[in-house]
Amino acid sequence: MFITEKRAQKIINLLKKRQKDLQLFSDNVSNPHNFSAILRTSDAVGVLYLYYRYSGSDKIINEDITMGSHKWVIHQKVPDEKIEEFFLSKKKEGFQIVATSLSEDSVHFRKVDYTKPTIIVVGHELKGVSEEILHFADKKIIIPMYGMAQSLNVSVATGVILYEAQRQREEKGMYEKPSLSEEEIENILKEWSTENVIRDKMKKSAVKHFLKND
């Protein structure tokens, strides 16, 4: 074990609250500020898995925005050629696909039951969720707007939806009973503790190298 017992217990307590069947998919959210804010909110509401498609060349995570929360959300990039396979496999696992969309057949975001295994899909800042992914959506949702603007910033909209999901799950007591098995918690704990120590050592080594060559 690379971390103290106190630190390990803190991570275990966090993992006991994680909702492994409330997941997020970011469909080409291209602004690092937005993507990082989404990661931070995901951590706050107990999302464990965030998947994303990203076609940009720049680094998508801004650690000044995530404030370290990216370390505690498992984020995985899905290649374009794997999109269909990804969503079909999630449906096979029993997940409902809920995508944000300004469509006529979209329903109020609060009318969805987020206590079911759910993947919430949010999209590009201007283009929204792609038609390719909307094809897999079981439900399309919309956040009612009463101002001149038609939509919220994608990171804000994601936060609004995730906190509705949190509210429903909290009312049902889903944060009181771990959704992860003891084995899953142990495996993630090992991975996180090792990765974080290695990352910290690399940063310290880089600082020492810089000072040595200054």
Provide the annotated binding site for S-adenosyl-L-methionine: 100, 143, 152
| Collapsed DSSP state (helix, strand, coil) of residue 57 | coil
DSSP 163-182: HHHHHHHHHTTTTTS-SS-H
Please answer whether residues 52 and 26 qualify as being in contact, where contact means their C-beta atoms are separated by less than 8 angstroms: yes
d(CA 184, CA 16): 10
Amino acid at 159: G
Q: What's the gap between Cα 163 and its chain centre?
A: 13
d(CA 61, CA 22): 21
3: Cβ contacts below 8 Å, ≥ 6 apart: 11, 193, 196, 197
Task: Kindly state the DSSP code that residue 177 receives in the 8-state scheme.
Answer: S
Q: At what angle do helices 182-213 and 5-17 cross, to 10 degrees?
A: 130
Place of tokens 């307590």: 13
Place of tokens 């909110």: 41
For the annotated binding site, the residues are 100, 143, 152
- Burial level of 180, CB count in 10 A (0-12/13-18/19+)? middle
